[in-house]
Amino acid sequence: MYKSGLIELEVVLAVAKRRGFRAAALELSMSTTAVSNAVASLEARLGVRLFHRTTRSVSLTEAGRRFVEHIGPAVGHIQEAMDTVLNGSAGLTGTLRINSSLGAALMVLQPIVLKFLQRHPGMTVDITTEGKMVDIIDEGFDAGLRPSDRVPRDMIRVPVTPGIETVVVGAPGYFASRSEPLSPQGLVDHVCIRARMPSGSASPWTFVHNEKPLSIDVHGPLVLDTPILMLEAVRHGIGLAQLPQWYVRDELAEGRLVEVLAGWKPVTPGLSLYYAGHRHVPAGLVALIELIHEECRFDR
């Protein structure tokens, strides 16, 4: 009896995961034709159709779903065994795909990701940044990076940072003709640069004073969807912005920006790396988690 090669099984799993032949081909560094031929060849030998194909979508048949459920863990164990052998002799290789917000990616790039690449030069880290949450399994990512309170409950969470202070800042020139606000209510007399939430609406500013939370709907002519653009607007004296403290610590230390409402700043949840625990965990992700445990020592 013909024994299917591992590559054909990997192709089937990739097509099932990415829901398309083109996306699976990109993941496996194969041509779309080679992926399609591998699936068709396996279907012919099994005598069953594994995928429903239309011009717009690819989905598993019932037989395909059962097949994937059976081979998934087995292929994962084989890949894990191969990773163990390869890593013991030639070091880590492969691509680690991470979905993240832009701010989170910037925050961990220098202390974690660049150090990871220096330690494992055979690895590639492919980071996709977007504001909205995605299903990392359906989208073919190995892991996600988001605020800890936004991590799905069915995922394994690895804390990367402690809580993050947010501060209200403005340029010295902005205060040349304005007095600093003494309380959040005083922001009504100021130009505020607002952040757009993934839902599309402008986010209110949040504060904490004497352990009591407060939410203020600020106003201003500029709404932006990334902290980098907000910081650039603040630097040019357009108005005030509420930003994570780590974004502006150098500007504050050098006097290029001024912090206001220091007694009201809240602490937002820290960042966590997360991944699906019921799937094969790639050796590269295991190594990244080990580095996080080494570098990110704080009270979790």
Please report the pLDDT score of residue 3 as a whole number: 45
Please report the pLDDT score of residue 2 as a whole number: 41
Pairwise CA distance, residues 261 & 207, whole Å:
9
Domain ranges of the chain: 6-75, 91-162+270-295, 164-268
Q: What is the pLDDT of residues 242-293, one digit of tens each?
A: 999 988 999 999 999 999 999 999 998 999 999 987 667 888 999 999 999 9
DSSP type of residue 112: I
DSSP type of residue 182: S
Fold for domain 91-162+270-295? D-Maltodextrin-Binding Protein; domain 2 (3.40.190)
Q: What is the mean pLDDT of residues 102-106?
A: 89
The rounded mean pLDDT for the chain is: 88
Q: Which of 53-62, 213-222, 234-243 has the lowest mean pLDDT?
A: 53-62
Residue 146: exposed, middle, or buried by beta-carbon count in 10 A (0-12, 13-18, 19+)?
Answer: buried
Pairwise CA distance, residues 86 & 95, whole Å:
15
Please report the pLDDT score of residue 225 as a whole number: 85
Pairwise CA distance, residues 109 & 104, whole Å:
8
- DSSP alpha helix (H) spans, the chain: 6-18, 21-28, 32-46, 62-89, 102-108, 114-119, 227-235, 245-253, 283-295
Fold match between domain 6-75 and domain 91-162+270-295: no
Q: What is the pLDDT of residues 185-221, one digit of tens each?
A: 999 999 999 998 777 788 899 999 888 999 999 999 9
Q: What is the mean pLDDT of residues 85-94?
A: 65
Pairwise CA distance, residues 53 & 39, whole Å:
12
- Kindly state the percentage of the chain with pLDDT values over 90: 54
List, in sequence order, every residue forming a beta bridge with 25; answer none if it has no partner.
none
Q: Class for domain 164-268, per CATH?
A: alpha beta
Please report the pLDDT score of residue 89 as a whole number: 44
Please report the pLDDT score of residue 86 as a whole number: 56
Pairwise CA distance, residues 116 & 260, whole Å:
37
DSSP type of residue 113: I
CATH 1.10.10.10 fits 6-75, yes or no: yes
Are 61 and 52 in contact, with CB atoms under 8 Å apart? yes
